[in-house]
């Protein structure tokens, strides 16, 4: 990869094209990116600075590493950008036109339909369900055993998303969903380094697994929707809102639209939160002093009773731990856009069609904004520190109109689950080698998070 990271032009004045790796003919930087995607982007940032240009096959792309430029794309000039087709065209079969990928008027209409299910007042009502399902999980844990905390978090957050948003139980589907997501992740990773799109119907082994995985997810979602259609009525959840919604001309959402929104919410709504918790558990197992302070806070505020929504305002260190874990390991580590008109960013002219990458993984580790950036220091998140931080130096949930709709849901869920776990258990690292992040659509812990459980003395 090093050989390819040479400047392709000395910057003319005024600069028209940002500096960046030259890459290979035809492929551009696809192979470098595909072989070490987590290394490729930071190396580009380190070598070329705040705006880095490269090519992904025939797609011109830039990586933005300054918070002001991110703010320009996400907020000030957001209408000049859409979700990046370089990535999303590869996974249309999964997300369809759900909220994550939709654009324009249709996106806005659907965002408005979904919004009430994520309003603060509504989200607070989900707290009891979150704690109840966590408590059921903890009842199955045995002190002394080694568990893959990541698998547990995936299963728990899936059950929480299904119950709160769809009033559905997915007990029997957890393993199928997990296998499906693994197959999809593997295929998406392979697609990152292809210069062209191979249609899903071409029977490559990866495609066969991908299509099968997709069918498994669709079966689960279709069943949830069909059950509700058999027993309609407003349950005040997301599915009720989607099923009651009408367009201006009186049409309800079609079955396909319902399917797209439901699949999107179920996928976007559980793995990311599971990852925030998995990385948190990993970090706690490595930092006993943080764990002790956390345990002290949880016992002081909650004692032995169940956590409730009202506790969150006082669980400040608990919240800081989640924020700091997502700084070091942002579940959505790469966010993309595509310019729909010529634009100027960071002093450079970028043509319409340029793919724009923004990486919380890089920004969150930038020493310009975070002292000692590689250290896990939840205490750094004082109100003063937060106030002086540039708006997009920390962006685990993105920003602007396309900010994560589940931000409040996820933050509450993560804090409640963490508090409930720490009340009863301490985590000791149970692996035989250091954990490695593996990046696809999300940032996953390779091989999971093996931890030995210890009962808290005061639990």
Using DSSP's 3-state secondary structure scheme, residue 7 falls into strand
State which of residues 33, 276, 334, 418 lies at the interface with ligand HEM (CB under 6 A). 276
CB-nearest residue to ligand HEM? 406
Residue 19 sits in the site that holds ligand HEM (CB under 6 A): no
String of DSSP letters for 392-455: TTS-TT--GGGS-TTHHHHHHHHHHHHHHHHHHEEEEE--SS--EEEESSSEEEET--EEEEEE
Q: Which of 84, 68, 65 is nearest to 76 (CA)?
A: 68
CB of 458 to ligand HEM, least distance (A): 29
- Which residues ranging from 287 to 346 are in contact with ligand HEM (CB under 6 A)? 331-332, 335
Task: For residues 419 and 363, give the distance between their C-alpha atoms in angstroms, rounded to a whole number.
Answer: 28
Task: For residues 299 and 291, give the distance between their C-alpha atoms in angstroms, rounded to a whole number.
Answer: 12
Phi and psi dihedrals of 357, rounded to 5? -110, 140
CB of 163 to ligand HEM, least distance (A): 12
Q: Which residue has the tokens 């009408």?
A: 246
Using DSSP's 3-state secondary structure scheme, residue 114 falls into helix
- Which residues ranging from 201 to 220 are in contact with ligand HEM (CB under 6 A)? none
- The pairing of strands 436-439 and 59-64 is unpaired
Residue 161 sits in the site that holds ligand HEM (CB under 6 A): yes
Phi and psi dihedrals of 439, rounded to 5? -105, 130
Residue 235 sits in the site that holds ligand HEM (CB under 6 A): no
Q: Which residue has the tokens 């002190």?
A: 143
CB of 60 or CB of 396, closer to ligand HEM? 396
CB of 112 to ligand HEM, least distance (A): 10
CB of 65 or CB of 206, closer to ligand HEM? 65
Site string for ligand HEM, 76-115 (x = CB under 6 A): -------x---------------xx----------x----
- The pairing of strands 355-358 and 343-345 is unpaired
CB of 149 to ligand HEM, least distance (A): 16
State which of residues 52, 184, 404, 439 lies at the interface with ligand HEM (CB under 6 A). 404
CB of 256 to ligand HEM, least distance (A): 17
- Which residues ranging from 362 to 401 are in contact with ligand HEM (CB under 6 A)? 396-398
Residue 284 sits in the site that holds ligand HEM (CB under 6 A): no
Cβ-contact 281, 427 below 8 angstroms: yes
Q: Which one of the spans 34-42, 264-272, 313-321, 425-433 is the region binding ligand HEM (CB under 6 A)? A: 264-272
Residue 38 sits in the site that holds ligand HEM (CB under 6 A): no
- Total of residues contacting ligand HEM (CB under 6 A): 24
The neighbour count for residue 256, using CB atoms within 10 Å, is 10
Task: For residues 378 and 370, give the distance between their C-alpha atoms in angstroms, rounded to a whole number.
Answer: 12
Q: List interacting residues with ligand HEM (CB under 6 A).
A: 83, 99-100, 111, 161, 264-265, 268-269, 272-273, 276, 331-332, 335, 396-398, 402, 404-406, 409-410
């Amino acid at each position: 990869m090093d050989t390819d990271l040479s400047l392709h032009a000395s910057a003319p004045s005024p600069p028209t094209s940002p500096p960046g790796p030259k890459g290979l003919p035809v492929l551009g930087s696809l192979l470098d990116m595909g072989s070490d995607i987590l290394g490729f982007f930071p190396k580009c940032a380190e070598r070329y600075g705040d705006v880095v240009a490269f090519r992904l096959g025939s797609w011109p792309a830039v990586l933005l590493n300054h918070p002001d430029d991110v703010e320009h794309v996400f907020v000030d000039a957001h209408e000049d950008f859409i979700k990046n087709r370089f990535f999303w065209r590869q996974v249309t079969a999964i997300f369809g036109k759900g909220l994550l990928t939709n654009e324009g008027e249709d996106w806005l209409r659907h965002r408005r339909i979904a919004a009430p299910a994520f309003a603060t007042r509504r989200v607070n009502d989900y707290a009891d369900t979150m704690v109840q399902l966590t408590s059921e999980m903890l009842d199955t844990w045995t002190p002394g055993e080694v568990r893959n905390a990541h698998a547990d978090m995936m299963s728990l957050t899936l059950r929480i998303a299904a119950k709160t948003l769809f009033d559905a139980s997915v007990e029997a589907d957890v393993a199928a969903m997990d296998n499906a997501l693994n197959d999809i992740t593997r295929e998406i990773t392979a697609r990152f380094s292809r210069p062209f799109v191979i249609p899903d119907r071409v029977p490559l082994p990866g495609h066969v697994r991908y299509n099968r995985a997709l069918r498994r997810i669709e079966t689960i979602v279709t069943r949830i929707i069909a059950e509700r259609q058999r027993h309609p009525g407003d349950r005040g959840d997301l599915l009720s809102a989607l099923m009651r919604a009408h367009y201006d001309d009186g049409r309800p959402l079609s079955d396909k639209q319902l399917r797209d929104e439901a699949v999107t919410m179920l996928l976007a709504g559980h793995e990311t939160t599971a990852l925030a918790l998995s990385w948190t558990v990993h970090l706690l197992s490595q930092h006993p002093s943080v764990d002790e302070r956390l345990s002290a806070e949880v016992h002081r505020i909650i004692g032995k009773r169940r956590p409730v929504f009202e506790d969150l305002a006082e669980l400040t260190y608990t919240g800081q731990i989640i924020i700091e874990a997502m700084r070091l390991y942002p579940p959505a580590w790469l966010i993309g856009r595509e310019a729909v008109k010529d634009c100027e960013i960071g002093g450079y002219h970028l043509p319409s069609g340029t793919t724009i990458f923004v990486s919380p993984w890089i920004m969150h580790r930038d020493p310009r904004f975070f002292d000692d950036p590689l250290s896990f220091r939840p205490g750094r998140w004082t109100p003063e520190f937060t106030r002086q931080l540039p708006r997009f130096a920390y962006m685990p949930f993105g920003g602007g109109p396309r900010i994560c709709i589940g931000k409040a849901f996820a933050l509450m869920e993560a804090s409640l689950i963490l508090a409930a776990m720490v009340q009863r258990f301490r985590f000791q690292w149970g692996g035989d080698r250091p954990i490695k992040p593996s990046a696809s659509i999300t940032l996953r812990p390779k091989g999971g998070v093996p931890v030995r459980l210890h009962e808290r003395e005061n639990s």
